[in-house]
Amino acid sequence: MNRRKAAIAAAGTLAAGALTAGLISVPSASAEGSAAQRGDSGKRHGSAEARGVEQAAARAARTGVDWKDCPADWNLKAPIQCGWVTVPVDYAKPHGKKIKIAVDRARSTGDKSQRQGSLVYNPGGPGGSGMAFPKRIPDKNPLWAKAATAYDFVGFDPRGVGHSAPISCADPQEWVKAPKDDPVPDSEADKRAQRKLAKEYADGCKERSGALLPHMTTPNAARDLDVIRAALGDKKLNFLGVSYGTYMGAVYAELFPGHVRRMITDSVVNPSPKKIWYDVNLDQDIAFQTRWDDWKKWVAKHDAVYGIGSTPAKIEAKWRELRATAKKDPIGGAVGPAELLGFFQSAPYYDSAWARVASAWSAYLKGDEKPLIESAAPDMSDVAGNKASENSNAVYTAVECNDAQWPRDWKTWDRDNTRLHEKYPFLTWSNAWMNYPCGVWPLKQHKATDVKARTAHPVLMIQATRDAATPYPGGVELHKRLKGSRLITEKDAGSHGITNLKNDCINKRVDAYLLKGTVDAKDLTCGPHATPEPQKSPAKAAATAKAASLPAIK
């Protein structure tokens, strides 16, 4: 559920001690007995789609991927290679209209005896592209060096994203224009205006996205993932899903439990059908407020560096003052309350953004508006980037609106968000308006997938207790629903996407799982990764935060 792209950077030093248990090895199932184990979703998930995905996977296994140098404008240089995997638009009609899914890879660094297949990656969204993932091998990312000896790193653009039959709901240049209306309404008229915009956006999705739009669902993305697995020549899937990618992985595990070889879910979306997707977003509002408060404490602790406020209360007062100033007179003509929130919410998302946000704000208070404007205002000259941003938002909207039943009466939305805003004002109304197109969605909404499975190999789950975007109970819920899984808890931490952070307690278990298939005998708790160090210079703070740019759940 990614609102905008935000940066993830590896933390500096390794984390505190952990409560650990001995490692055990759990062998993969080489022979799969029941239909459910074999991944034959059959009666449970619709025989037509089940037969369709089997046929598509069989074709893909015969065809493979014709790997070539990537197109120059994809910004993926050798040794990374690119290719295509053909999938049906509608799996109930596998011989009907088809689309091509863009994939890329970097070959493993190990010899033939070390290779264990492909590690496929999804960074989140819905709407995120995984095409940057293979760069971790040629860039020699130290956290992934051991895994790189065993696996080709494979990324892909899910259906509707990027190069894979991209969809759209609005003109990108119009969509990014700023300043936008303040998401926090002052009146019923403000609410009516936001509802009108949401209805126009939902209708725009139907008008601009064509025949693919009804088939933009997580189950179809999971089916595409199985076809990709077959095209890669892997009998079973090795998968790393972050944020929304965990829900894609969970639905895959439900549809194809016998096809799971290794699966890591990092920062888990709550998969309960009662939560997807309306309540998941309400839960986010509470968690974002908690993590926003954590960031304010950190900024107050480093007041000697930033000079914003010596207590969280003083910083909150400054934040409200900044919003009011920008609402009355947008900063640089383009940064109002909505744009400020778009930038400042990266701090509750990722620890790596803490210093960047604080530095830009500090510079503004000292008379230098440039870092804040550059960070928060749209770049109207970046036509390609704006197109990608609108595409990502379109996919986010389409998948979440199609996946599950949403309240169709405005009174429910108004009641729930008004109540939440009283205690958790940081994100609530902004989140509501982003999702309200689902309340007026012009297409059929499906019944959410009920994930309950035992996979061929245990799924490894990693969750931080103070994660804002995917609150901790989501990891606990998926753990209950995937039998035999293991949960690693990063205690007293809240950064999103933690497999890409330096925490020895977690990193060594990720390596052991991918290389040897081992998991701990019991669930365990790790200490937090290192707390960010303050950086006064906005330029240096921005450079530090740019280590990785990974979409996440909204």
| Residues known to be catalytic | 243, 467, 496
Most distant CA pair in the chain: distance in Å? 68
For every residue of 445-475, DSSP letters joined together read -PPPP---EE-SSPPEEEEETT-SSS-THHH
CB atoms within 10 A of CB 546: 13
Instruction: Please state, in angstroms and rounded to a whole number, the distance separating the CA atoms of residues 124 and 275.
Output: 18
**Which of 88, 238, 214 shows the shortest CA–CA distance to 150?**
238
Token readout for 480 is: 């209950």
**Which of 487, 484, 481, 472 shows the shortest CA–CA distance to 451?**
481
Instruction: Please state, in angstroms and rounded to a whole number, the distance separating the CA atoms of residues 336 and 325.
Output: 8
Omega cis (within 30) before 179: yes
Q: Do the beta carbons of residue 461 and residue 475 sit within 8 Å? A: yes
Buried b (16+ CB within 10 A) or exposed e, 410-433: eeebeebbeebbeebbbbbbbbbb
Phi, psi of 356 (to 5 degrees): -65, -45
How many separate helices (H) and strands (E) can be counted in the chain?
21, 16
Phi, psi of 344 (to 5 degrees): -65, -25
Instruction: Please state, in angstroms and rounded to a whole number, the distance separating the CA atoms of residues 145 and 345.
Output: 31
